[in-house]
Amino acid sequence: MTFEQVKQKLDGSVMPTYARFGAALVSGRNATAKGVDGKEYIDFTSGIGVNCLGYADEKWAAAVARQAAAIQHISNLYYSPVQAEFAEKLCRAAGMSKVFFGNSGAEANECCIKLARRYGEDALGIRGPEIVTLNNSFHGRTVTTLAATGQEGFHEHFLPLTDGFRYADADMGSVKSRVTEKTCAVLLELIQGEGGVVPMDRAFVRELREFCDEKKILMMVDEVQTGVGRTGAFYCYQNYGILPDAVSSAKALAGGIPMGACLCREEFGSLLGKGAHGSTFGGNPLACAGGLAVLERVGRPEFLKEVRAKGAYFSEKLKAMPGVSGVRGMGLMLGAKPEKGPAGEIAAKCVENGLLILTAKDVLRLLPPLTITKQETDRGLAILEKTLRAFA
């Protein structure tokens, strides 16, 4: 099939919810993808932060293939050795005690929200507990995670949303003003990804941790985009030197197989008892095999050190690049603000020139595979520089 044939077929039968770029991808190795027409692309996207080990990593692919050939799915009616192993190792990497597995970031947040509501009811005796989230946040596309998302643009046309969310700015004064006797939790991203790669202030995060302790409300961190090595720590809260009460994780968790997880500390680990929550696919053996292959690599201190070094290299090159007016982010989660031209148009031109890159609000967003090589990095940055020059 040619690109045009793929486009026509897909547009003919898939709902038009996505603004797609002009490339149809069929294969890849590490941070280099190949299109239907044989064209090569350097990938600074990882499929929006999913392919942490790049495309078709040999060990990851072999682990998933082995699992598929042994037993691919069993439901949660039975015990799974591979789920048991992954759950134990993931909890250890996160510094958490219990995990619930789902299939996406939105579902991971749904579980955090249910956990917090249950905590509000059971531990704090609140009827109709509320959760404070931040303005400019993004927590997913289900009706409840849209409600948790502090951006009105996402709410339009889908009202009424789930009740029980109050939005605050990312400062303690604002958070305190939104907390009431009905508040059971605060949920936040430590770097707002879809919001434009906006890192939270360190002092704010640490003060928020203390405040939640004082008020006996849960501090929940959405690590869907920032998690699994992306920022140079396994979870971004480890960079901030805090431990949340609950964490949502997804995207890179199984290296390209749908998986989401809500993790929590020991004291909250039995709030959701038998029948309180569930998922047919959650923690299925295939996803857990992918997750174990990811964890075995990304969980290593040397690997995370390399992510930090790669992030510093990217950041330094971007800061020095003509046409870039500012760079923010952490590790390999970076936002580069273009001096001229809408980010979306620049990204579309980059694709034409052989570079896959994301946008978030007014920045070009970079989430390359954590395994990206120096050669791939330099090739991609050269394409970006050439593209930006055309917009100068």
Binding site for ligand PLP (CB under 6 A): 104-106, 109, 138-140, 189, 193-194, 222, 224-225, 250
CB 248, min distance to ligand PLP, A: 7
Nearer to ligand PLP, 96 or 383 (CB): 96
Q: Which residues, in sequence order, are CB contacts of 18 under 8 Å at separation 6+? A: none
Please give the structure tokens belonging to residue 226.
């920032």
Nearer to ligand PLP, 104 or 144 (CB): 104
CB 50, min distance to ligand PLP, A: 9
CB 74, min distance to ligand PLP, A: 23
> Are 68 and 270 contacting, i.e. CB atoms less than 8 angstroms apart?
no
Give me the amino acid identity at 315.
S
C-alpha torsion sign, points 307, 225, 62, 75: positive
d(CA 55, CA 376): 13
Report the residue number whose CB is nearest to ligand PLP.
Answer: 105
Nearer to ligand PLP, 188 or 381 (CB): 188
CB 195, min distance to ligand PLP, A: 9
> Are 311 and 232 contacting, i.e. CB atoms less than 8 angstroms apart?
yes
Nearer to ligand PLP, 130 or 189 (CB): 189
Nearer to ligand PLP, 234 or 377 (CB): 234
CB 390, min distance to ligand PLP, A: 29
CB 365, min distance to ligand PLP, A: 11
Please give the structure tokens belonging to residue 218.
């849960």
Nearer to ligand PLP, 236 or 321 (CB): 236
Nearer to ligand PLP, 224 or 357 (CB): 224
160 prior amide bond cis, ω within 30? yes
What is the SS3 assignment for 239? Answer: helix
Please give the structure tokens belonging to residue 208.
């928020």
Please give the structure tokens belonging to residue 154.
């996402």
CB 264, min distance to ligand PLP, A: 17
Among 96, 50, 99, 94, CA closest to 230: 50
Among 359, 306, 301, 302, CA closest to 334: 359
CB 105, min distance to ligand PLP, A: 2
Helices and strands in the chain: count of H runs, count of E runs: 14, 17
Give me the amino acid identity at 22.
G
> Are 43 and 369 contacting, i.e. CB atoms less than 8 angstroms apart?
yes
Nearer to ligand PLP, 32 or 226 (CB): 226
